[in-house]
Amino acid sequence: MASDLCMRSEKRIGEPVRRILAKNCLFDPSRKIKINDAEGTVLIPILMEPKPEVAEALGKLGQVDLITATLPISKSPPKDLRGVLEGKLPVNLLDSLPKSYDVVGDILIIESMPPELMPHRKEIGIALLGLNSSVKTVLLKVGKVEGEFRVPRLEFLAGVEKYETIHLEYGVKLKVDVSKAYFSPRLGGERYRVSSSVSDGETVVDMFAGVGPFSIMIARKARARVYAIDLNSYAVKLIEANICLNRLKGDVLPFCGDARSLAKQFAGMADRVIMNLPGHSLEFLDVASKLVKKEGGLLHVYVFAEEDPLENAESDFRDAAKKLKAGFEIRAMRVVKPTAPREWQVVLDVWAYPK
């Protein structure tokens, strides 16, 4: 049981008390209300202690006390966000409720919120907190991932205000600070795909490593050497922390700085290059082609593409590649995930031949 907290009120004001609690997202629908006719009281289950202004509003109704009591579990608690918020939000807003979100460790991040729901965002956050027992914090992304560090602007909605957590992915532990360094849990399957294809003895350059999820997963699965580069000094500190958090077969060597400048010291060394910077990866194609060994190497190139994503991704890649001296052979392409209406992230697995 998540909580034993209850509000005890006179029976005559039980329903007005319940309505105030529900309006402030305090009512716990997973437990049943208990009526004591002999005492003329009612016990209403709540999720947390009311704030002073809510307690003041309840007190104006009559005698209301905060107590602890074990109440029976409701047979049919709401199982989704709409079910929890029915009766609490205007009916015309229920269809606009967020239908997907990211969970990073014990932090839930809502990707976007329609303008009409913004006045109710705290209520929605509290409802999501109640629906996800492993979540301690609910945040709302209030701006696009922008800037050289690809970090979103986040607003705290519910739970414990924090931004750092430990995310578990295919057995890999990743320390993440969602407010300071880029990380997307939606790439977990892609990271597993790439890491599973790496052989012992490979040298890998992770050009835009973030907190190191590609690098760490590769080194956990293979006796490979991975050079993990990122411009964000805080992300590099997290890579260092993540090396310590995991038992690795291979080696991860973190470097802080611009990939174009740092890559010069790894020229001709790489069997494989990871280019997870979808908005700008093609601008670094010349750098990546110089990183691979003289016999060639595999590039994992991530790009954004609009409708007909595979066709457009291939066209954009070929336009960028034809300006370079190196040779390229596209060996595979796949859609990784949707990123916006009519926009997708695509990965091209490309063999590069330096010239």
- Domain boundaries of the chain, sorted by first residue: 5-68, 81-162, 178-353
| Cα separation, 313 vs 332, whole angstroms | 12
For tokens 């202004």, the residue is: 53
Phi-psi region of 313 (alpha: psi -120 to 50; beta: other; left: phi over 0): alpha
| Cα separation, 111 vs 100, whole angstroms | 8
Q: Which long-range contacts (CB under 8 A, 24 or more apart) does 15-21 make?
A: 16/61, 17/42, 17/44, 17/58, 17/61, 17/64, 18/44, 20/54, 20/57, 20/58, 20/61, 21/46, 21/50, 21/54, 21/58
Strands 5-10 and 172-177: unpaired
| Cα separation, 353 vs 36, whole angstroms | 80
Residue 303 CB neighbours (<10 A) = 25
Q: Edge-to-edge strands of the sheet including 107-110?
A: 101-104, 107-110, 137-141, 154-159
| Cα separation, 48 vs 122, whole angstroms | 14
Instruction: Pick one of 3.30.70.360, 3.30.465.10, 3.40.50.880, 3.30.70.2580 as the CATH number of 5-68.
Output: 3.30.70.2580
Residues 348/314, Cβ–Cβ less than 8 Å: yes
27 is written with which tokens?
Answer: 């009512």
Is residue 145 predicted with pLDDT exceeding 80? no
| Cα separation, 282 vs 301, whole angstroms | 8
Residues 210/233, Cβ–Cβ less than 8 Å: no
Q: What is the pLDDT of residues 90-106, one digit of tens each?
A: 889 999 999 889 999 99
Of residues 339 and 254, which shows the higher confidence score?
254
Please give the share of the chain, as a percent, with pLDDT higher than 70. 97
Residue 196 CB neighbours (<10 A) = 12
172 is written with which tokens?
Answer: 């890999």
Q: Which of 284, 178, 151 is nearest to 238 (CA)?
A: 178
Confidence of residue 1 (pLDDT cuts 50, 70, 90): very low
Query: Half-sphere exposure of residue 123, counting CA atoms within 13 Å on the CB side?
Result: 23
Task: With both helix axes pointing from N to C terminus, report the angle between 213-221 and 188-196 in degrees, rounded to the nearest 10.
Answer: 40
Is residue 76 predicted with pLDDT exceeding 90? no
Q: Which residues pair with 348 in a beta bridge?
A: 301, 333
User: Alpha carbon of 132 to those of 82, 83, 304: distances in Å?
Assistant: 14, 14, 31
Identify the top-confidence range among 49-58, 297-306, 321-330: 297-306
Confidence of residue 339 (pLDDT cuts 50, 70, 90): confident
Q: What is the pLDDT of residues 21-40, one digit of tens each?
A: 988 888 888 888 999 888 89
Is residue 355 predicted with pLDDT exceeding 80? no
Residues 268/245, Cβ–Cβ less than 8 Å: no
Three-class DSSP category at 132: coil
CATH number of the structural domain 178-353:
3.40.50.150
| Cα separation, 30 vs 77, whole angstroms | 5
CATH number of the structural domain 81-162:
3.30.300.110
Cβ-based burial of 206 (10 A; exposed 0-12, middle 13-18, buried ≥19): buried
Mean pLDDT over all residues of the chain?
A: 93
Q: What is the pLDDT of residues 109-119, one digit of tens each?
A: 999 999 999 99
194 is written with which tokens?
Answer: 């790439």
C-alpha gyration radius of the chain: 26
Q: What is the pLDDT of residues 123-141, one digit of tens each?
A: 999 999 999 989 999 999 9
Task: Output the pLDDT for position 25.
Answer: 84
For tokens 């009559």, the residue is: 62
| Cα separation, 109 vs 277, whole angstroms | 21
Q: How much is the pTM? A: 0.77
